[in-house]
Amino acid sequence: MVSIKDVAKAAGVSVTTVSRVMNNRGYIGKETRKKVENAMRELDYQPNQIARALLKNQSFVIGIIVPDLSHPLFSELINWIEAYASEKDYKLLVCNSLQNAEKETNYISMLRKNRVDGIIMCSHNLDVEEYRNVAMPIVSFDRILSSTIPYVASDNYRGGEVATNHLIEKGCNKLLHISGPLDYELLPNRRSDAFQLTCMKSGIDCKIIQGAHVKATFEDNWNFIDREIASHLTDYDGIFCSNDFMAYTLYVYASKKGIKVPEQLKIIGYDYHSFTRMLRNPSLTTIKQPLDRIGKRLSSLLINQIEDNDLDRNNTVFDVELIQGDTT
Amino acid sequence: MVSIKDVAKAAGVSVTTVSRVMNNRGYIGKETRKKVENAMRELDYQPNQIARALLKNQSFVIGIIVPDLSHPLFSELINWIEAYASEKDYKLLVCNSLQNAEKETNYISMLRKNRVDGIIMCSHNLDVEEYRNVAMPIVSFDRILSSTIPYVASDNYRGGEVATNHLIEKGCNKLLHISGPLDYELLPNRRSDAFQLTCMKSGIDCKIIQGAHVKATFEDNWNFIDREIASHLTDYDGIFCSNDFMAYTLYVYASKKGIKVPEQLKIIGYDYHSFTRMLRNPSLTTIKQPLDRIGKRLSSLLINQIEDNDLDRNNTVFDVELIQGDTT
DNA sequence: TGTATTTATGAAAACGTTTGACATAATATG
DNA sequence: CATATTATGTCAAACGTTTTCATAAATACA
């Protein structure tokens, strides 16, 4: 590959001068600049960013770890993160933890070895201390890792509250909530807290069943419903699902069993990612997380940290929005 | 950050020795090895891959350019590519061209500057010569770039044929095909060729309308149908859409207009990505591209090229599969 | 004219690795 | 005992940049 030396030789100047032309530093003669620029063009010179990164100790790469690359929630998030990051000249190294703790550890270590400038953690399979030891700018999506690691999330509590109240307002008396796994202390668990408290406040019968997994296929969800919910499905007149896939599967299941939605059973989901936006038969009532803002915020928060400018570095919680669909 | 020098100092040996321990080269005393390993552990030493990359002229990073990161076709593809690449210790730098020629050019140049080991091109907004000048291992998805750049695709012609014949077998007489943009010479255009030829062979009336865009939302598709198709929708009894989103939108449109699917109108799509796999109301009849195999193949083809081993380097075309859904 | 300032350029060190060329000690071979 | 082999380790160059320092020429100022 052609290096700065080749350019220097071709232009008849020193490498210093070439570097100065590239970076617009110091004084450069008009003639010299032209000679150098011509040489660069003729040789199709591509400055080696790796060398630069080594010297400056800054790679302009940020790593992102997600639990499932093919999940619309995360692919959309990555989409927005990339959009903002690339504006600021950062590139994205994507890692797919597959919800596997060992893989996640390995990815973190890999990112450290590769001297990325920072990490966006969207996958959470480790204990919080492990993230604290990373010693590198981090931001987190949907989980509090430590007081020094900013997080971004939608207002999960409010989302759960809005969803629950919506069902109640629509006349539901007996509510079920299908939550995600509640074992780790994740912010989406607040949806379930809100569900419970809101029901209590309104004096409404309610129940929570765990079972909405990120990586679940339609069949996984279907089987879960068949196993855990089916027998007392008619006991409920409103169900709040912690994600849209589960909500959609539940709709299909109920329909197939002859239960009319929304007349007999009302269903509300959570997320409103690309899948849900495309869905029209029926369209799903759901709670929208503003993935565009979340993604941009994750990037900007991380980049602020990296560049150590004293702009905003606070945890950010975005408003959610009720999307009225056909299922309530 | 702690460097090899710090480890050497802590272990009381030279940097060469530390390097030897890490890479298992040359002779190392048992005691020495232990001392070095302890020092590495104690200092939490992370060998700088950037320095390594500079020296070895190999970054173990591959770049991938897609037209839309949030599109399930590409996020699934990336998912599989990452799976295989990470097995082989390669990392993925993702780029989102947004179907914009200038952005695509910039990304290619960026990837060159960053000395990625190779590029997987899934976005095609430039003339073929531009790719030939890249001077770096490349593989391409769904487009022939040159005789030296291997491509991977599903058997688009066969897919179009299977789809068309399926409609005919189901009794359709007047067929419409909604194709993607046919301007660039892309392999998916073969679906349209196949449609036309198959109809001719069977002596069936047919028409092709361009309009299935990758980045289209439900509304975009809806408006397109409303504008271009609606008035003569009842003229057709079978429609082959070049992607599943268009097929789904069309289904919803037809239903809303009181046209019974599949009784009065049969609809078949193309892709069978995560959106379609989740869809059950109705499930879509479609042609499946094996994204898992395509993704793995793209990676392995590129890595073979990078590592210059004389394993298989041929263009690869994967069989498609008819997925029988409720819309035909 | 003399001197300070501005402009233009180059040499060399540094970033963190790997590696080929050596150096030395210990052990084996003849 | 001389020599070859094996084991262990050190030195320094190299990868492609940026940047500090030094120097030289040109210009400005008195």
| Tens of pLDDT, residues A297-311 | 999 999 999 998 777
Whole-angstrom CA distances from A242 to A156, A193, A313 are: 10, 12, 29
> pLDDT by residue (tens digit) across B89-143?
999 999 999 999 999 999 999 999 999 999 999 999 999 999 999 999 999 999 9
Half-sphere exposure of A166 (CA within 13 A, CB side): 24
Return d(Cα B181, Cα A112) in angstroms, integer: 43
Which residues lie across from A174 on neighbouring strands?
A205
Interface contacts A/B by beta carbons within 8 Å: 140
What is the CA B202 to C1' D10 distance in angstroms? 81
CB atoms within 10 A of CB B149: 20
SS3 A280: coil
Type of residue at B216: A
Which residues lie across from A179 on neighbouring strands?
A210
Q: Treating both helix axes as pointing N-terminal to C-terminal, what angle do A156-169 and A189-202 enclose, rounded to 10 degrees?
A: 40
CA A17 from centre of chain: 44
> pLDDT by residue (tens digit) across A216-235?
999 999 999 999 999 989 99
Predicted pLDDT at A309: 77
Q: Where are the domains of chain A?
A: 4-47, 56-154+292-317, 156-290
- Min Cα distance B205 → chain A (Å) is 31
What angle is formed at CA B62 by the lines to CA B60 and CA B67, rounded to 5 degrees? 165
Which residues lie across from A96 on neighbouring strands?
A66
Model pTM? 0.95
Return d(Cα A280, Cα A260) in angstroms, integer: 17
Burial B75-96 (b: 16+ CB within 10 A, else e): bbbbbbbbbbbbeeebbbbbbb
Chain B residues with CB under 8 Å of A83 CB are 96
Which residues lie across from B72 on neighbouring strands?
none
Find the residue in B nearest to A255 (Cα). Answer: B281
Chain A residues with CB under 8 Å of B255 CB are 281
Return d(Cα A211, Cα A213) in angstroms, integer: 6
Positions 54-93 in A, CB within 7 angstroms of strand C: 54-55, 57
Asked if A251's CB is within 8 angstroms of B281's CB, the reply is yes
Asked if B92's CB is within 8 angstroms of A91's CB, the reply is no
Positions 16-55 in B, CB within 7 angstroms of strand C: 16, 19-20, 22-23, 25, 45-48, 51-52, 54-55
Find the residue in B nearest to A247 (Cα). Answer: B278
CA B108 from centre of chain: 17
Find the residue in B nearest to A112 (Cα). Answer: B46
Positions 106-125 in A, CB within 7 angstroms of strand C: none
Residues 6+ apart with CB under 8 A from A180: A186, A188, A189, A210, A212, A213, A214, A242, A243
Predicted pLDDT at A298: 97
CB atoms within 10 A of CB A31: 8
Q: How would you class B254 by CB atoms within 10 Å of its CB: exposed for 0-12, middle for 13-18, buried for 19 or more?
A: buried
Q: How would you class A173 by CB atoms within 10 Å of its CB: exposed for 0-12, middle for 13-18, buried for 19 or more?
A: middle
Residue with smallest Cα–C1' gap to D19? A16
Predicted pLDDT at A266: 98
CATH fold match for the domains A56-154+292-317 and A156-290: yes
Chain B residues with CB under 8 Å of A54 CB are 48, 50-51, 54
- Min Cα distance A209 → chain B (Å) is 22
Type of residue at B241: C
Which residues lie across from B205 on neighbouring strands?
B174
Q: Is the pLDDT of residue B312 over 80?
A: no
Predicted pLDDT at B74: 98
> Of A195, A132, A190, nearest to A167 (Cα)?
A195
Least confident of A87-91, A310-314, B44-48, B273-277: A310-314
- Would you identify the CATH topology of the domain B156-290? Rossmann fold (3.40.50)
Evaluate if the CB of A200 falls below 7 Å from strand C: no
- Structure-block tokens of residue B328: 């035909």
Q: Say which of A61, A69, A72 has its CB closest to residue B78.
A: A69
Residues 6+ apart with CB under 8 A from A309: none
> Of A209, A68, A61, nearest to A125 (Cα)?
A68
Confidence of residue B195 (pLDDT cuts 50, 70, 90): very high
Return d(Cα B69, Cα B61) in angstroms, integer: 18
Type of residue at B44: D
- Structure-block tokens of residue B149: 């750049």
Predicted pLDDT at B183: 83
Confidence of residue B311 (pLDDT cuts 50, 70, 90): confident
**Domain B56-154+292-317, CATH among 2.130.10.30, 3.40.50.1400, 3.20.20.140, 3.40.50.2300:** 3.40.50.2300
> Of B85, B87, B84, B103, nearest to B95 (Cα)?
B103
Evaluate if the CB of A49 falls below 7 Å from strand D: no
Average pLDDT over chain B reads: 95
Return d(Cα B250, Cα B253) in angstroms, integer: 5
- Min Cα distance B72 → chain A (Å) is 7
- Min Cα distance A319 → chain B (Å) is 22
pLDDT per residue rounded down to tens, chain A (328 residues): 899 999 999 999 999 999 999 999 999 999 999 999 999 999 999 999 999 999 999 999 999 999 999 999 999 999 999 999 999 999 999 999 999 999 999 999 999 999 999 999 999 999 999 999 999 999 999 999 999 999 999 999 999 999 999 999 999 999 999 999 998 889 999 999 999 999 999 999 999 999 889 999 999 999 999 999 999 899 999 999 999 999 999 999 999 999 999 999 999 999 999 999 999 999 999 999 999 999 999 999 999 999 987 777 789 999 999 999 999 9
Q: Is the pLDDT of residue B65 over 80?
A: yes
Residues 6+ apart with CB under 8 A from A17: A8, A11, A28, A32, A36
CB B205 within 8 A of CB B232: no
Q: For strand C, give the nucleotides within 7 A of a protein CB.
A: 7-12, 14-21
CATH number of the structural domain A4-47 = 1.10.260.40
Which of B94, B116, B249 is the mutation pick for testing A, counting most A CBs within 10 A?
Answer: B94
